[in-house]
Amino acid sequence: MAEVMLRLHIESKVFHTAQGELPVLGNIEFTLGVREIVALVGPSGCGKTTLLRIVGGLDTDFHGTINWDGTRVPRIGTVFQEPRLLPWRTVRQNLLLAQPTANHELAEELLRSLDLALFRDAFPRTLSLGMARRVAIARAFAIQPELLLLDEPFVSLDTTTAARSRDLLLNTWRERPTAVLLITHDCTEAMSLADRIIVLSDRPAHIVEEVVVPHVLRTVVP
């Protein structure tokens, strides 16, 4: 087992709605190793995105603890379910603006590595969904993250595009390995990307099963 970077223990997470309290997450406990890819799989609406938001520090209203290795919160690159690019900035500017200080070289490398070099000066509006998703992935890598949070990064793409995007993601990751927490409800996606799969139940979510994926299953692109 690799060095652990995150120990997460959520006791509960409740949404306060007009109809009363809605428990979203139950008891969930897991660890994430440095450079480990963990997939969270579960039925839609079970609170996977909420879990990711908690890890990303976007939601602090929960019971439980997040322990980072050491005391410092790592640099976290997030890929949301929708690309969430700035439509008024070009692809390249979107990458540069996410970085604390603009690193042009890294941005160009990432655009090449995710097959976006030709579109570096395009506005997001002109991109297909698949491309926009890859820009969002490039942007997350552009901050040199220690942890990458991917929220269904290839959902609603056709099979071929999704497979190709996965390969590009994996290749990029091999060049710049980082811990990854991936949400998906696609088992193929989980098997072809993750080292370990955590299966979540319906709401309120708890862990049903943890599966270690044999590495041979990972799609390897020459």
Partner 1 sequence: MLLLVWQIAATVAHSRFLPTVTSVLAAMVQQTMSGALPWNLAITLGRVAVAFALSMIAGCALGIAMGRSRQLDLWLDNIVTVLLNLPALVLIVLFYVWFGLNETAAIAAVALNKLPNTAVTMREGTRSLDPALKEMARSFRMSRWRTLRHVIVPQLTPYAFAAARSGLALIWKIVLVVELLGRSNGVGFQIQIYFQLFDVTMILAYTLAFILVAQTIEWVALQPLENWATRWQR
Smallest separation, CB 142 to partner 1 (Å): 9
Among 5, 32, 46, 98, binds partner 1 (CB under 8 A): 98
Question: CA–CA separation, 22 vs 14, rounded Å?
Answer: 5
The footprint of partner 1 on residues 154-213 (CB under 8 A) is: none
Smallest separation, CB 212 to partner 1 (Å): 29
Smallest separation, CB 97 to partner 1 (Å): 5
Q: Which is nearer to partner 1, 43 or 123 (CB)?
A: 123
Q: With contacts defined by CB under 8 A, name the span among 50-58, 64-72, 168-176, 193-201 that binds partner 1.
A: 50-58
Smallest separation, CB 192 to partner 1 (Å): 26
Interaction of residue 100 with partner 1, rule CB under 8 A? yes
- Which residue in the block uniquely carries the two structure tokens 């998703």? 133
